Structure 1
């Protein structure tokens, strides 16, 4: 009995010793990997040189580019709701594109493109609207809304009484500006709280995974796991900052498969689209956003550079200046995923139904700006030279240029112009979600 009592009293010492022993084993295990770098649950050959761009004041030309991007939001602003159209002149939006507007607005404030009064007015109106949106099953924002009436709609802007479901990835994206407001603009804390009280974010999280919703055959909404490598981890970060359990969504390793593209092992998602009914696009956007908004993590920093480097090597091999991402296009099917890798194919360009759209491959304006903001390298200078004239001074930045014949892809969107603004704000301020700091240049 005395021994048992002594053991109980000493249990915390036993736990400490066991923990220390385990830590030593792990430490020696890591030290024994002379040729590798262990980052979380992934091992890389070390080190990988990444030419990150240092922060600096924008040039006069870059500041002009930012003003061109802001013109889109001036043109497409809906006074009565405070929302902005996803596509130029078309009164519909998604949560992803609303996030692009809010991030563009934050970037415009940081760059002194808008006055403090205009920023406050626009942000307050948008947050007030988001806190009163009709929700799918009274739980979460629909995938699309009419920007004038706030009706839940389908992607053709037809009213749908209970919506067409929600996108967990889109909601994760719009929580990025919410986090920025909480940490850097505390005067909006109450309005952000009103939004988060209205939305039932916990309904899209199960066992650390994110779930979207879509109409089932019985007319009810069914939950489907949402997110693939790149987007899944990016969208999870804003939820993690809000104390939500997204542990499994943030792990790269569970479904990671490395595919060799031009001698580079790039990250892909091994979940089979035929089985999981979701495509596994490897594109620029998710990695660019992770870098310019969060500053990237030790894994995504390397993954991003590999995805970029594969595009640079395609240019060196083919002479085609390459900056690929998903984009609106100005002809049917009007939206194309232009990828480094997707559905088992390198440099695959497909629509969301999986059909080949190789004839609509483009240099993406937002990808060109994003890589230019992140990396200080000759190739990013070439990218910005290719993209620098793809705009209308009256409408904003076009989505890109077609590879096949060099003509401009004249789709003009909130997402492209928002990411252009974010990218330029990153050059001057560094990662936009820097907790505890607010860079005021007033």
Structure 2
């Protein structure tokens, strides 16, 4: 009871602050907000601030444990989600949105997460559980018999590696985390031999820590030599979508991305050309979705040759595709084309809120009013990527 009272008080204060101190202005955040070159850097940063609001205490972060939520309505986190949060903290600090010191500063928040990772309950084989309750840090009751997916741990490992490089003072704590988890066992999973771009991306986290991934299928081997042509671009006949590709570009070093950059460019062009051919704005990825599916994976291509398919719980569904907000922002930061401008112009007024950005809008115009760590984390990362790119160019 005491915990609930404390949480309610904190949430009330935060809501009051955001509603009265940080109103969203339809005039300021107009459809053409990022189309104009005037003060573009400042505009990107302003939108990153909105995305960062998701990670405020009582919104997307538990005010007691310091652990974050996968969505504002789902107070749990997978290891993939934990990786999202750590990377968001790094990007927010680089952008100056998060001070290093003080109560709820970067060091305080990171230490909370690392200390939890160093003490959280694991299986008898030192494998993480699939999902943890962010309100108490314990394995979720609903998934207590399930272990973490190898891809989730790969995402976490990549974020921990980036954190170690960004803030070396945490190296000892991070090394302890690596030592107490049996990540090497997960790295031997046959999952990494699958015909799936996610497997390649998540494997990069293991490789950063010199953990061998013996069954890894490299990008050039996706499709088993088979390619599928979509709107004039040839891509591997494999599980292909935007999410792991844009994550790789935002999180890996440029010298690690040669083949990935080429595939990402093709994946982007295919989606742009789909719009010009059909009139349907396209930004495919995984995302939260409407009932009864709740979460979907939108595939541009699949190993059996299908295109533009939507899956939920491993089964293809007839759901209307979703224009995913974070993919639009990521593509805009990477390519900045007339089409990415069009995506932003369409999505911005529909998805911006006081507490971050909604997941997206379906092709038939239904807004998905879900605030997630993934969408807001990627938008912060996309801003950091864009501003770093501008800095290097000048």
> Which bin holds the TM-score, normalised by the shorter protein?
0.7 to 0.9
Change (3 A) 1:250 1:238: farther
1 CA distance for matches of 2:356 and 2:166? 28
2:233 pairs, out of 245, 264, 268, with 264
**1:136 aligned counterpart, secondary structure:** coil
Q: Please show how residues 133-148 of structure 1 align to structure 2 within 5 Å.
A: 133-148=120-135
- The structure whose residues are more often helix, as a share, is 2
Change (3 A) 1:411 1:58: same
* Alignment partner, residue 335 of structure 2: 375
Structure 1 portions without partners, runs of 5+: 1-56, 212-223, 270-279, 432-438
Change (3 A) 1:111 1:164: same
**2:332 aligned counterpart, secondary structure:** helix
Residue 291 in 1 paired to residue 291 in 2?
A: no
Q: Residues 54-109 of structure 1: CA distance to partner in whole angstroms, max 9, x if unpaired?
A: xxx96222112111111111112123322101011322111111111111111110
Residue 96 in 1 paired to residue 70 in 2?
A: no
- Structure whose CA Rg is larger: 1
1 CA distance for matches of 2:54 and 2:318? 27
* Alignment partner, residue 249 of structure 1: 216
**TM-score (normalised: structure 1):** 0.73
Change (3 A) 1:185 1:419: same
CA contact (8 A) 1:236 1:250 kept: no
1:356 pairs, out of 317, 332, 335, with 317
Structure 2 portions without partners, runs of 5+: 1-38
**2:245 aligned counterpart, secondary structure:** helix
1:370 Cα shift? 1.0
Residue 238 in 1 paired to residue 196 in 2?
A: no
1:185 pairs, out of 167, 189, 211, with 167
* Alignment partner, residue 116 of structure 1: 100
* Alignment partner, residue 196 of structure 1: 178
**2:257 aligned counterpart, secondary structure:** coil
Q: Residues 83-139 of structure 1: CA distance to partner in whole angstroms, max 9, x if unpaired?
A: 101011322111111111111111110100111110010001111101111113342
CA contact (8 A) 2:245 2:260 kept: yes
* Alignment partner, residue 401 of structure 1: 361
CA-atom RMSD, angstroms? 2.1
**2:336 aligned counterpart, secondary structure:** coil
2 CA distance for matches of 1:109 and 1:70? 11
1 CA distance for matches of 2:98 and 2:40? 16
2 CA distance for matches of 1:184 and 1:108? 12
Corresponding residue pairs, total: 343
* Alignment partner, residue 412 of structure 1: 371
1:313 pairs, out of 259, 262, 273, with 273
CA contact (8 A) 1:92 1:144 kept: yes
* Alignment partner, residue 262 of structure 2: 302
